[in-house]
Structure 1
Amino acid sequence: MAKKAKGGNNPLKSFDKWANTVPDTAKIIGDAVQAAAPILDKALDRNYEKEKNRISIPNVLDLDLLEGKELLEKLGFLVTVTLVKPDKKYSTARDNEIVDMIPKSGRVDKGSVIKLYYVTQEIIDSSNLDVPIPNLLGLSITEAREHLKDLGLKPAYELLKAEARWANQQVNTVLDMEPKVSLFSSTVVKGSILKLKYIDEATLEESRKLAQAAAKKQLDLGQLVGRIPNFLPQNKQE
């Protein structure tokens, strides 16, 4: 019979040996936190410095343009100004009043751009007047321009792309306009822009080619349809 080893296996000694080899979790976490602390501190410092250089945007709406611009520039902002177009909502505004700004609120870096929008008395006067939208279709560009001028409106021009439907139209004639009278709108504010759409010689020539090609295609299709009965089986008479 084999002899037992002296002392045998001692469970307590085995556990102590295993426990001594297990890392101290608390110590590892503590070391990791300690190592990360400088990085976290630097990030917090950067955020603090960045936030310290940010300033709140004051609301300068309804102020005089020069007053609002001066206030923003003293705070370190760069300011741009834009004159708005006539609109009914400006009919009760004051001359040189700030009616809009971008951005309107929040905290931004010093040196950020603030856009101010303002009105003049001319814009206010134009905002108080509605003008019926004229029908300028068929007029020459010159006639249409003069008519708009008499109404206190401004023309803009758009050269149309070639289309078959323009093949029989006149060059430099108003073929379409924007805006035009509709169920939803029949007037515009005085000073508004109306777009006059027309064709020139090159566009007319290209439109005629497109019309000819469309006519030929339709003719070829008609001839093909006319030949279909010839390909159908004929009923023999008894």
Structure 2
Amino acid sequence: MSKWSKIAMYGKAAVKVIAPSALVLIEKTGTEFIEKQKNLIKIPDLKDVYIDEALRVLKDELNLIPTSAIANPNLAYVDESENEVMYSEPRFGSRVNPGTAVKVYYLTQEVIDKSKKLLETVVHEFKVPRIIGANLYEAREDLESLGLKVAVKLEKPSLKFVSKDDGQVTRVTYPNDQKIGSKLKTGERVLIYYVNEEVILKSRSIKEKIDKDRREIINKIGKISKDVSDGFCTGVADTHKTVVKKIGKPFAKKKSSSDMRK
């Protein structure tokens, strides 16, 4: 037996021994990962919720460890109210383990007043940041840090959202859906559109239905084509038999006449 044949033989034997163990390990690891993902808790969007209620939800309903902190003055806080939550660390939408510490930032009247003074003294014009495709909560924080007043709106299910991710930003407009130009000014209002898991799943259901209908139409067309083809072949065969029969009869008659002469 050659050297390479021996290697191949021993290799196959090793695979038979190792492969089952490897498969079990992979399966176990995959199961553990899925179970871990199931146990993760998604931090809800608590913006504009009063701080006391936000802390209660995080602690009593989600089994997290919340703490509070006062937000720094920001141009985006001019029209907000006292004791409202602005953001958190980790961000809203993050998935964390039970018992994770979450710091929630809220407003005091002093912070709101200082924010108004900032607006009176500082007005900037800047290019529109690239936030399409970014995470909703990250995008909102980035825009608010520039002094913009941000609202959010959920998209309706559509084929173009099939491959999107939960919380992904799809577009940014003015509140009246008017397209934003190349630049924005401090204090302007903008609207962020985004998708969540529900919208994505409904979008995929729409695609699956369209694909299913398309397959059914193709199958029907294929069946009709087959029936037409079979009918055509049957007609040709019948015509062939008739022609042969008609051609064969004169020969039969001629043969009979010649036999009679004999």
TM-score by length of 2: 0.38
Larger Rg: 1
Larger fraction in helix: 2
